[in-house]
Structure 1
Amino acid sequence: MKKILILGVAPVQAEAIEKLNEMGYETYAIAMKKDGPGADAAQHFEEINIIDEQVVSQYIKDNQIDAVYSVGSDLAMPVANKLSETLDLPHFVSYETAYACNHKDEMRQRTKGIAGSVPFEITQEADFQTEIDFPVFVKPTDGQGQRGISLVETKEALPEAIRKAIENSREGSAIIERYIDGYEISVNGYVVDGKLQFTLVSMRETWPQHPGLIHKHVIDPEANFPMSSIEAAIQAHLETLQIDNGPVYAQVKVMDDEAFIIEITPRFDGCHMHKLIQYYNEDDLLDKTFKHLLENQKPSFSKEGKVNPIVLEFMCETPNQTIDYDQFETPEGTLESYRYYHQGDMIRPVNGVYDKVGFYIYPLKKEGN
């Protein structure tokens, strides 16, 4: 029986661990604290900081681990791929690629000028004056989970936004990006031998009071997207960043039928989209991913057939207070729901503004239905 180590124990990692258990693998998990459901889902758990590469490497050797992986975490992917390269374990992308996708400045530098790229500037100075027309997004160069991100509409507001981004950056850097005035989508894809073999586009509905923070993902087969531009932009980024195999997730904005890549990363997203996709067309991306990674079975995907329009809606709340789930109303027809906490638990800050505390999955209702 192969032994698989998952880095992290949050709900998204717990789903991967549960899938591996179901597939008959021996599961291991590590995290700095036993503060997520993955710790109990794994057959073996140890409190280890996932970015302490020397300690994690020794843990892999001591337990004769056959593969190390993670989902939903940009922080974990460079570690997983670096250790996999060093220890000759299976992996989809190089450490260099995983590092670039976890560092917005590196990703933007590499993809500058290709299809779907966005104008940007990098700074470590709060008084930096941008040459990009307002409004702009200001972000930490190496952040995730929407931490430290600001939409800035005036020159006067820029210094504070840069300071906020730098405070949330491990490297003390901020990236200023052109604001794309269009609608947001998510693209979940799968790459085999350098080519997109699966592409699914979902609408991203964000909270109006918190720009960029996700409220809902909606998969609607009747939605009209500029697929040629979307796929061309993603393929160009895949080739430039050398994402040759495995899952890929992109956050995209569409303006005047042209796709712009906001983020792209060689992993599953952190929003449980694999669950939504399985409800939509029955493709089990976690199962296909692990068979590809661990057994070298190249996946095939549903091309035609019945689909079910579907929604994933997040429950969100301000962090650093106790959670009261009684405030949320369960949507009609809910197929699945999940709570990140127990009633009355303290909400941990992730983005620090309006954090996910759970989700609902339910059928998309159209007018007249």
Structure 2
Amino acid sequence: MKKILILGVAPVQAEAIEKLNDMGYETYALAMKKDGPGADAAQHFAEINIIDETAVAEYIRENKIDAVYSVGSDLAMPVANKLSEELDLPHFVSYETAYACNHKDDMRNRTKGITGSVPFEITQDANHKTAIEYPVFVKPTDGQGQRGISLVETEAELPAAIERAVDHSREGAAIIERYIEGYEISVNGYVVDGQLQFTLVSMRETWPQHPGLIHKHVIDPETKFPMASIEAAIQAHLETLHIDNGPVYAQVKVMNDEAFIIEITPRFDGCHMHKLIQYYNEDDLLGKTFKHLLEGEKPSFTNQKEVHPVVLEFMCEVPNQTIDYQQFETPEGTVESYRYYSQGDMIRPVNGVYDKVGFFIYPLKKEEN
């Protein structure tokens, strides 16, 4: 029986561990603390900081681990791929690629000027004067989960936004990006030998009071997207960043039917989209990913005509207070729901503004779209 190590124990990693358990693998998990459901889902758990590469490598050797992987975490992916390269374990992308996708400055520098790229500047200076026309987004260069992000509409707001982004950056730098007018989508894809073999686009609905923070993902086959532009932008980034195999997730803005890549990463997203996709068309992307990674079985994807339009809606709340789930009304027809906490638990800050505390999955009603 192969031994698989998952880095992290949050709900998204717990889903990967549970899938591996169902597939008959022996599961291991690491995290700094036993503070997520993946710790109990794994057959073996240890408290080790996942970015402590020396300690993680020692754990892999001691336990004769056959593969190390993660989902939903840009922080974990560079470690997983670096150690996989060093220890000759299976992996989809190089450490260099995983690192670039976890560092917005590196990713933007590598993809500058290609199809779907966005104008940007890098700075550590709160007094930086941008040449990009307002409004702009200001982000940490190495952040995730919407931490430290600001939408800036005037020059007077820029210094505070840069300071906030720098404070949330491990490397102490901010990236200023052109704000793309238009609507926002998520693209979940799968790459085999350098080519997109699966592409699914979903609408991203964000909280109006918190720009960029996700409220809902909606998959509806009746929604028309400029697929040629979207796939061209994704493919250009895949080739430039050398994402040759495995899952890929992109956050995309569409303006005048032209797609712009906001973020792209060679992993599953942190929003449980593989679950939504399985409800939509029965494609088990998580299972196919592990068969590809662990057994070398290249996936095929359904062309199923019968699909089920579906919504994933997040429950969100201000962090650093106790959670009261009674405030949330379960949508009609809900097929799955999940709570990140127990009733009355303290909400941990992730983005620090309006954090996810759970989700509902339910059929799309036409009046919602």
Q: TM-score, normalization: structure 2?
A: 0.99
**Whole-Å Cα distance in 2 between the matches of residues 223 and 366 of structure 1?**
11
Question: 2:103 is matched by which residue type in structure 1?
Answer: H
**Whole-Å Cα distance in 2 between the matches of residues 37 and 12 of structure 1?**
9
Name the counterpart of 1:2. 2
Q: Deviations over 1:150-183 (max 9, x none)?
A: 0000000000000000000000000000000010
**Whole-Å Cα distance in 2 between the matches of residues 143 and 238 of structure 1?**
21
Residue segments in structure 2 that go unaligned for 5+ positions in a row: none
Aligned residue-pair number: 369
1:368, distance to aligned residue in structure 2 (A): 11
Name the counterpart of 2:158. 158
**Whole-Å Cα distance in 2 between the matches of residues 38 and 191 of structure 1?**
27
Name the counterpart of 1:19. 19
**Whole-Å Cα distance in 2 between the matches of residues 227 and 112 of structure 1?**
22
Name the counterpart of 1:94. 94
Q: Deviations over 1:7-35 (max 9, x none)?
A: 00000000000000000000000000000
Change in CA separation of 1:248 and 1:368 when aligned onto 2, cut-off 3 Å = closer
Identity %: 85
**Whole-Å Cα distance in 2 between the matches of residues 62 and 39 of structure 1?**
19
Residue 271 of structure 2 aligns to a residue whose secondary structure is coil
1:304, distance to aligned residue in structure 2 (A): 3.1
**Whole-Å Cα distance in 2 between the matches of residues 231 and 367 of structure 1?**
29
**Whole-Å Cα distance in 2 between the matches of residues 81 and 87 of structure 1?**
10
Name the counterpart of 2:275. 275
Name the counterpart of 1:173. 173
Name the counterpart of 1:71. 71
Question: 2:328 is matched by which residue type in structure 1?
Answer: F
Name the counterpart of 2:237. 237
Q: Deviations over 1:219-251 (max 9, x none)?
A: 000001000000000000000000000000000
Name the counterpart of 1:291. 291
1:366, distance to aligned residue in structure 2 (A): 1.0
Question: 2:209 is matched by which residue type in structure 1?
Answer: Q
**Whole-Å Cα distance in 2 between the matches of residues 349 and 205 of structure 1?**
21
Name the counterpart of 2:341. 341
Residue 151 of structure 2 aligns to a residue whose secondary structure is strand
What are the residue-to-residue correspondences of 1:344-359 with 2, within 5 Å? 344-359=344-359
Matched, 1:52 2:36: no
1:337, distance to aligned residue in structure 2 (A): 0.1
Name the counterpart of 2:210. 210
**Whole-Å Cα distance in 2 between the matches of residues 292 and 21 of structure 1?**
16
Q: Deviations over 1:262-315 (max 9, x none)?
A: 000000000000000000000000000000000000000012321000000000
**Whole-Å Cα distance in 1 between the matches of residues 64 and 18 of structure 2?**
20
**Whole-Å Cα distance in 1 between the matches of residues 60 and 133 of structure 2?**
49
Name the counterpart of 1:31. 31
**Whole-Å Cα distance in 2 between the matches of residues 30 and 55 of structure 1?**
10
What are the residue-to-residue correspondences of 1:123-134 with 2, within 5 Å? 123-134=123-134
CA RMSD of aligned residues (A): 0.9
1:367, distance to aligned residue in structure 2 (A): 3.7
Residue 146 of structure 2 aligns to a residue whose secondary structure is coil
Name the counterpart of 1:249. 249
Change in CA separation of 1:357 and 1:368 when aligned onto 2, cut-off 3 Å = closer
Question: 1:314 is matched by which residue type in structure 2?
Answer: F
